[in-house]
Structure 1
Amino acid sequence: MAVYDDLMGFQRETEALAQVAGRLGWDQETVMPRGAVEQRAEEMGAMESVLHARRTDPRVGDWLAGLEGEELDAVGAANLRHIRRSYDRATKVPADLAAQLARVTSRAQGIWAEARANDDVAHFLPILTEVVALRREEAAALADGGSLYDALLDGYEPDATSADIAAMFDRMRPRLVALRERVMGSERSPAGLTGRFDADTQLALSNNIAKVFGYDFNHGRIDKAVHPFSSGSGHDVRITTRVDEADPFNCLYSTIHEVGHACYEQGIDDAHLLTPLGAGVSMGVHESQSRIYENQLGRSQAFTGYLFNQMQDRFGHAGAADAQAFYAAVNRVHSGYIRTEADEVHYNLHIMMRFDLERALISGDLDVADLEAAWNSRFEADFGVAVDRPSNGVLQDVHWSVGLFGYFPTYSLGNVYAGCLNKALRADLPDLDGQLAEGDTSGATGWLRQNLQQYGGLYTPVEVVTKACGQAPTEAPLLDYLDAKFGALYGV
């Protein structure tokens, strides 16, 4: 198996360089001087050129050909599956296009942050037009005459199609809308938190909560960013959060969400380090971890009771009269603007809107110049509220600035997977709520690590969720969970 060993030695170096490129992105979003944007764009372009050259190196094709028909164990076969898929995609994309995408999206990220801070859509649209054009060009190279959007979606969720996603959304929307109407029509109207919450104290508490959920600070760190994210894999997995002194949930639940991503990466078997199996298998599976940490665990009545006491100890008050009022505040349903702050009832409706808009952008049915008007019109139709400013509308998400077209539907797919995992988890751990009430998440996080996280990319997305749950994933457990939780909260 000398051929396999040569291939994996080469791949290990490629994976290490990809980690370095990721660290450049983390640095850009956390501590890089703003004046370094143009230089960083060139650095990112140079790194992408090196990575693209390695991913398309003819030797990779020769090694893959030399391994055709070889009997490999499950790990070897999975490594070849990932390398072959990466090689097939990379060789379809011209090297100069890959480098230009890296340069332009690096610049676009900084321009988006400025535009968002100043509510200046016009400042962002020219660079977004460039990003969309480049992504469409990339998609055309990948699609072989097929759907441009599906070619991009496949980069985040292998084997998924926009038709399947649209069909799933068509099945989900009626129950979500019906639940929202019942909740919004309820006589119960839980209050949000009151008072101010010191920023430094919030950050200290969020660090503690990260530890409670199993985040390993020996192999990670928490910083602040405009848009929270997780970065890295293996032994260096970093996350970010943000702080609003009027809304500590923004910080705390952003942290728990990103910890879910990070713990997935930290939970992968070390034997897969710096191999194609050493990272999460898809963004949908990744989102299943962040969403189950944040929602089914972090927003449960049991855990919010623990968090209520932590808030009282840290701030001298929790912003709510008692643990029940605090639980209701954590899960308050309202038609807010911001996706990352959306309640569980509305969240998937935010994703459905973005899915439709970005498909139209990539297909050419929607011009970038008309995006803000399309966003505002669709948002008011879906949520019954007019967008008051661009930072609460089309400028709120970082994704399109960095070219992540096809990424948004994986959030809802992650919610669906999380619903399935929660059902299986609770069947195996009947005392879970008792543990969460004591601030002990180890039973739940240990179950997730044992049944899903440790495998990394060993199985396909559907395979690993099916293996963990004992049955193929469907949206029914998520919708049943939402109906039961919010029906009880709102008496509907």
Structure 2
Amino acid sequence: MSAFDDLMQFQRETEALGQIAGRLGWDQETMMPDGAAPQRAEEHAAMSRVLHARRIDPRVGEWLEKATPVTETDAAQLRHIRRNFEKTAKVPADLAAAIAKTTSLAHRTWAKARAEEDVAAFLPVLSQVVDLMRKKAVAVSDGANSYDALLDDYEPGMTGETLAAMFDALRPRLVALREAILSKPAPAALSQAFDEAGQLALSQKLAKAFGYDTDHGRIDKAVHPFSSGSGLDVRITTRTNPLDPFNCFYSTIHEVGHACYEQGIDRDYLLSPLGSGVSMGVHESQSRIYENQLGRSRAFTGWLFGQMRDQFGDFGIADEDAFYATVNRVSDGFIRTEADEVQYNLHVLLRFDLERALMAGDLAVSDLEAAWNDRFKADFGYAVDMPSNGVLQDVHWSEGLFGYFPTYTLGNVYAGCLNTAMRSAVPSVDADLARGDATTATQWLRENVQRHGGLRTPQDTIIHATGAAPTEAPLLDYLETKFGDIYGL
């Protein structure tokens, strides 16, 4: 066997172990008994040590020196392995294990603190997580910007400065649109309870409509919906709220977008560096375009209206047009994952600025809640009423996912670009969505984005699909057109 073949066989086993580690996380979020948390933390730490050792195995360096790529795919595989090898080698094994163990424990502490509205119970372990992530950032950055080193884990090649410039361009038009909308009468809101069984039954239909393959996946419930796995085993979760079935429906569609990306990757890339999404920004582009540009479109909500009438009977919304406005209703709210398209990115920008300050040492963990509340009041005009609606609402920081939040808005930017290109290439999208059939849209996304996995860099993935470098303009134009129509602006 050649050095390249030896390397790829070794990498295949490493990828398989990574999938097992991911399954531990899925179980922790969905089915693990509370009392198992200390043992699960040890299990996470053990897996982290094994994976860390494999990723910096000296043989990987030797194989990389000797391996000769023959195809574009070979070159891409080596690019990913080399990047991961060099970054991982900079992180001491004890630090990697400490991060895995501490974040596993922190996750359970966060869940309990959130349920009990007890910020003080969470801050000590969050301080430990922040300290560990600062150490990792310093180790990886080689003296460069430490936040960029963490961001690079989720969006390779991206920098905080580039994102800040993009977000600064987004903010004025988003704020102006929000203010214009809130000056108008709001569409009717849902005003009755919707039973959980009915929500879950319809969410199964929605997952199928968007192409989720349940022979290679499953849908469970979790506090914070997520997608897990790649290749032949891709699982999603959703959640229910009796007064807000849209939470269930659009969480499901969102996570199906993530899952379909993983399920759609070329099977030749299975258990290789190319066999998963190329970045979280591109990943989020799939979940957001499924959820919003497709799932919240006038065409698809017309079909969904009929499905809800079949499932729940008359629920107080007169017709398809009124239902479309209700689905896209812009209103005050605290929760990022429940936010409308206009305000969602303002939630992300808040978190981006706070976590950059935490990593830079400009914001102490003890001051985080006050900083969050002050920023939220400034951005949204009203005060946070309780911690679960504020600093405790998201799971990410408990899991050490610093650098992750900005990829949500970057994903929206990518989705805006993809939506423009897709609708130009496939004029029948809305006619098909009106029948509850998202196939033409999802097939275009699979062919132009999903099947390629990690073959190209994130930016090149979007350029390949759309023919142009990504900018925020298509997203802003889409939002202004859509909500200008709904609200008569």
CA displacement, residues 312-366 of structure 1 (integer Å, 9 cap, x when unaligned): 0001124422211111111011121000000000011111100000000000000
In structure 2, the residue matched to 1:230 is 227
For residues 163-174 of structure 1, the aligned pairs below 5 Å read 163-174=161-172
> SS at the partner of 2:234?
strand
For residues 37-436 of structure 1, the aligned pairs below 5 Å read 37-67=37-67, 70-186=68-184, 188-436=185-433
CA distance in 2, matches of 1:26, 1:204: 22
> SS at the partner of 2:229?
strand
CA distance in 1, matches of 2:248, 2:113: 22
CA shift, 1:71, in A, is 4.5
CA shift, 1:185, in A, is 1.2
CA shift, 1:65, in A, is 1.1
Counterpart contact for 1:312–1:318, Cα < 8 Å: yes
> SS at the partner of 2:291?
helix
> Closer, same or farther in 2 for the Cα pair 1:387/1:71, shift >3 Å?
closer
> SS at the partner of 1:412?
helix
Which AA in structure 1 matches 2:400? G
CA shift, 1:246, in A, is 0.6
CA shift, 1:385, in A, is 1.2
Counterpart contact for 2:300–2:434, Cα < 8 Å: yes
CA displacement, residues 422-454 of structure 1 (integer Å, 9 cap, x when unaligned): 000100111211110100100000000011100
CA distance in 2, matches of 1:108, 1:426: 43
In structure 2, the residue matched to 1:13 is 13
Counterpart contact for 1:335–1:346, Cα < 8 Å: no
CA displacement, residues 236-271 of structure 1 (integer Å, 9 cap, x when unaligned): 000000000110000000000000000000000000
Which AA in structure 2 matches 1:429? V
CA shift, 1:161, in A, is 0.1
Which AA in structure 1 matches 2:93? A
Q: CA RMSD in A?
A: 0.7
Name the % identity: 68
Which AA in structure 2 matches 1:61? G
Counterpart contact for 2:253–2:290, Cα < 8 Å: yes
CA distance in 2, matches of 1:309, 1:95: 55
Is residue 2:467 matched to residue 1:470? yes
> SS at the partner of 2:237?
strand
Counterpart contact for 1:318–1:326, Cα < 8 Å: no
Which AA in structure 2 matches 1:60? V
Which AA in structure 2 matches 1:447? W
CA distance in 1, matches of 2:469, 2:323: 35
Counterpart contact for 1:308–1:318, Cα < 8 Å: no
CA distance in 1, matches of 2:290, 2:254: 6
CA distance in 1, matches of 2:191, 2:295: 20
TM, length-normalised to structure 1: 0.99
Structure 1 segments of 4+ aligned residues over 6 angstroms from their partners: none
Counterpart contact for 2:4–2:69, Cα < 8 Å: no
Counterpart contact for 1:194–1:320, Cα < 8 Å: no
For structure 2, the 5+ residue unaligned runs are none
Which AA in structure 2 matches 1:116? R
CA distance in 2, matches of 1:72, 1:44: 37
CA distance in 2, matches of 1:83, 1:5: 13
CA distance in 2, matches of 1:52, 1:77: 23
In structure 2, the residue matched to 1:3 is 3
Which AA in structure 1 matches 2:206? I
In structure 2, the residue matched to 1:444 is 441
Which AA in structure 2 matches 1:419? G
CA distance in 2, matches of 1:71, 1:94: 30
> SS at the partner of 2:211?
coil
